[in-house]
Amino acid sequence: MFKGSLVALITPMREDGSVDEKAYAEFVDWQIKEGTNGIVPVGTTGESPTLSHDEHRRVVEIAVEVAKGRVPVIAGAGSNSTAEAIELTRHAKAAGADAALIVTPYYNKPTQEGMYLHYMAIADAVDLPIIIYNIPPRSVVDMSVETMARLAKHKNIVGVKDATANLVRPLHTRIACGEDFCQLSGEDHTALSFNAAGGVGCISVTGNVAPRLVSNMQAAWAEGRTKDAMAIQNRLVPLHDALFAETSPGPAKFAASLLGKTSEHCRLPLAPLMGPTRDRVRAAMTQVGLLN
């Protein structure tokens, strides 16, 4: 259903902090023209925790309007409030999104049973494909393979964005959830290794600024051109490193600003990048060949 290079989109903002809708629309169109296979608005990389509900909904609507069916749109719709997640997922469906990305509830620290009931409530309430987003470093909780297997029995729960960087996990998930369960990496460094263990693509941060390279890497892997895929992977490593030198999406937004796509502005509590990080991002962009 979803595969290849999908991008966890940044949300362009003006220097005054308002969402730059024009820049966002142009950014989505550029991503698709550069070969991105799917777009993911208002996830963590899109600064969803600091967007108002109106802004969140509008960003999803713009993504769907610009995509025009050329690539799937997986709308971020997660929350640590089940009722709010249902509301956002209903909007994603009404806006025309192809699926919703639902993060494991953060801060609340639900048990495995709590996570199971949370996702089942959303899946029962909205007839839209759901991708589970498992990211323990940000959410604190880690959904077990056993819980995911229980959820995979629901017709609307179709896959996972796995940001654990645990390369044993997709092997076990494939056995427990079946080969049709869509496994997408949420971690750029291990994207190819994840594919080798049963994945079918990556929801990428690096794809924000290197969409063609990331897409070509996934295409090469899918076509069996392993050496070509690994060559691109090796080329991208310094950029992956730089884009996570400080809290994401700060470095990614700064890198996008170097390409003239948006300002580097992130909303508080994310601070402006430190000087050494700026230098590192600029150097990596140059090394990879994205800047002269």
Q: In what order do the strands lie in the sheet containing 38-40?
A: 38-40, 4-8, 201-204, 182-185, 157-162, 130-134, 99-103, 74-76
* CB of 20 closer than 8 Å to CB of 264: no
Residue 32 belongs to a domain with what CATH number?
3.20.20.70
DSSP 105: P
Burial label, 269 (beta-carbon count in 10 A; 0-12, 13-18, 19+):
exposed
Say if 210 falls within a structural domain.
yes
Spatial separation of the C-alpha atoms in residues 256 and 109, rounded to whole Å: 34
What the block records as the tokens of 56 is 């969140």
Say if 175 falls within a structural domain.
yes
Domain hosting 76: range is 4-223
What per-residue string of b and e applies to 71-84 under the rule 16 or more CB within 10 Å gives b? bbbbbbbbbbebee
* Tens digit of each residue's pLDDT (9 = 90 or more) over 221-252: 999 999 999 999 999 999 999 999 999 999 99
Say if 131 falls within a structural domain.
yes
Say if 286 falls within a structural domain.
no
Total-model pTM: 0.97
Say if 245 falls within a structural domain.
no
pLDDT at 179: 94
pLDDT-derived band at 1 (thresholds 50, 70, 90) equals confident
How many folded domains does the chain comprise?
1
DSSP 290: S
Q: Is the peptide bond before 269 cis (omega within 30 degrees of 0)?
A: yes
Say if 106 falls within a structural domain.
yes
> Which residues are the active-site residues?
133, 161
Say if 99 falls within a structural domain.
yes
* Tens digit of each residue's pLDDT (9 = 90 or more) over 106-148: 999 999 999 999 999 999 999 999 999 999 999 999 999 999 9
Cβ neighbors of 288 (< 8 A, separation 6 or more) are 210, 213, 235, 236, 238, 239
Residue of 182, 186, 203, 196 whose CA lies nearest to 229? 196
Mean pLDDT of the chain: 97
Spatial separation of the C-alpha atoms in residues 71 and 285, rounded to whole Å: 26
Spatial separation of the C-alpha atoms in residues 240 and 189, rounded to whole Å: 6
**E-strand stretches of the chain:** 4-8, 38-40, 74-76, 99-103, 130-134, 157-162, 182-185, 201-204
pLDDT at residue 292 tops 90: no
Mapped onto helix, strand or coil, the DSSP state of residue 1 is coil
